[in-house]
Chain A
Amino acid sequence: MADLTLPDPVTRHDTGHASRPRHRTRSVTPLGEKLIEWTLLACGLVSIFTTLGILAVLLVEAVGFFDEVSLADFFGDTQWTPLFADKHFGIWPLISGTFLTTAIATLVAVPFGLLAAIYLSEFAPARARRILKPALEVLAGVPTIVYGYFALVVVTPLLQQVFPGLAGFNALSAGLVMGIMIIPMVSSLSEDALHAVPMSLREASWGLGAARLTTIFKVVLPAAMSGIVASIILAVSRAIGETMIVAIAAGQQPRLTLDPSVPVETMTSYIVQVSMGDTPTGTIEYRTIFAVGVTLFAMTLVMNVLSRRFVKRFRYGGTR
Chain B
Amino acid sequence: MTVAPPAPSVAPSAAETRPKLVSRQLEAWFGDNRVLKGVDMEVPARRVTAIIGPSGCGKSTYIRCLNRMHEMVPGARMAGRIELDGVDVYGPDVDPVLLRRKVGMVFQKPNPFPTMSIRDNVLAGLRLSRRKVAKTEAEAIVEKALRGAALWDEVKDQLKKPGTDLSGGQQQRLCIARSIAVEPEVLLMDEPASALDPIATARIEDLLHELKERYTIVIVTHNMQQAARVSDQTAFFLSGELVEMADTNTIFTSPGDRRTEDYITGKFG
Contact = CB atoms under 8 A, between A and B. Distances in A.
Instruction: Specify whether A and B are partners.
Output: yes
Most buried by A among B69, B129, B178: B129
Interface in A119-162: 125-126
B105 interface: yes
Interface of A: 125-126, 198, 200-201, 203-211, 214-215, 218-219, 222-223, 225, 314, 316-320
Nearest to B164: A317
B125 A209 contact: yes
Interface stretch (B83-91, B95-103, B147-155): B95-103
B250 interface: no
A197 B112 CA distance: 13
Given A316-B115, A317-B114, A203 B107 contact: yes
Given A201-B111, A207-B107, 6 more contacts: A208-B128, A208-B179, A209-B97, A210-B97, A214-B129, A223-B115
B44 interface: no
A209 B98 contact: yes
A320 B114 contact: yes
Nearest to B114: A317
A316 B162 contact: yes
Interface residues of B, number: 33
Interface string B163-196: 1110000000001001100100000000000000
B129 A208 contact: yes
B109 interface: yes
Nearest to A317: B162
B115 A209 contact: no
B113 A201 contact: yes
A209 B117 CA distance: 20
Q: Which 9 A-B pairs have the closest CB atoms?
A: A317-B162, A209-B101, A210-B128, A208-B125, A207-B105, A200-B111, A222-B115, A317-B164, A317-B114
Given A210-B97, A223-B113, A204 B162 contact: no
A213 to B, nearest CB: 10
A225 B116 CA distance: 13
B12 interface: no
B164 A320 contact: yes
B10 interface: no
B104 A207 contact: yes
A214 B164 CA distance: 21
A204 B113 contact: yes
A317 B130 contact: no
A204 B111 contact: yes
Given A209-B97, A209-B101, A317-B162, A204 B115 contact: no
B113 A219 contact: yes
Interface of B: 67, 69, 72, 74, 97-101, 104-105, 107, 109, 111-116, 124-125, 127-130, 162-165, 175, 178-179, 182
Contacts of A225: 115
B130 A214 contact: yes
A319 B162 CA distance: 11
Most buried by B among A207, A316, A320: A207
Given A201-B111, A218-B127, A317-B115, A207 B100 contact: yes
B230 to A, nearest CB: 21
A215 B109 CA distance: 19
Contacts of B175: 204
Contacts of B99: 209
15 contacts: A203-B107, A204-B111, A205-B128, A207-B107, A208-B124, A208-B178, A209-B97, A209-B125, A209-B129, A218-B128, A219-B115, A223-B113, A316-B115, A317-B114, A317-B163
A203 B182 CA distance: 16
A314 B114 CA distance: 11
A147 B56 CA distance: 54
A203 B130 CA distance: 18
A318 B161 CA distance: 12
B72 A206 contact: yes
A214 B115 CA distance: 15
A319 B113 CA distance: 10
Nearest to B129: A209
Contacts of B113: 201, 204-205, 219, 223
